Amino acid sequence: MVLNTQQIMEMLPHRYPFLLVDSILEIEEGKRIVGAKNVTINEPFFQGHFPGHPIMPGVLIIEAMAQVGGVFAMMTDKVGTDKVTYFAGIDNARFRKPVVPGDVLRMELELVNCKRGLYCFKGKAFVGETLVAEADLKATFADR
C-alpha cells in the first residue's frame, strides 16, 4: 500500500460520508494510479439505494474514481492542498455489474493527457478481476 486513509485525508478535502477511497495501492508517476474502496453495508447511501437490495450508485463509483485521480494530481504534479478539484467532464461512462456490500472496489486510472491544468483520465473500476464500471474523466483545480 502506498497511502492509507489518513494520508489520503491529508490531500483530499473529502470527509465521511463522501470520502470514497480508502487506500492507494500503486502509483506510477505521470502515468497511472490504483486506489481501493472497501464497500460496507454501513455506507449511508445503502439506506435508500435500494432497501432490501443494496447497490452502490454508479455516480458514486465515478466519484470514487475521480477522488483517486485527485490524489494522483496531488502526488505527481504537487497540486497544493490549497486547491479544490472540479469535474470538467465525464464521457463514455458504462456500468457493467452492480457493486454491493462486501465488495472491494479497485479503481485504475491512466493519465491520458494533461494540458493547462486539465487532467484527462481513462478510469476503470473492478471487483476482483471483473470490470464493473468505466469512464473517461476530466478534472481541473482551482483555489479554495
Residues tagged active-site = 49
DSSP per-residue string spanning 109-125 = EEEEEEETTEEEEEEEE
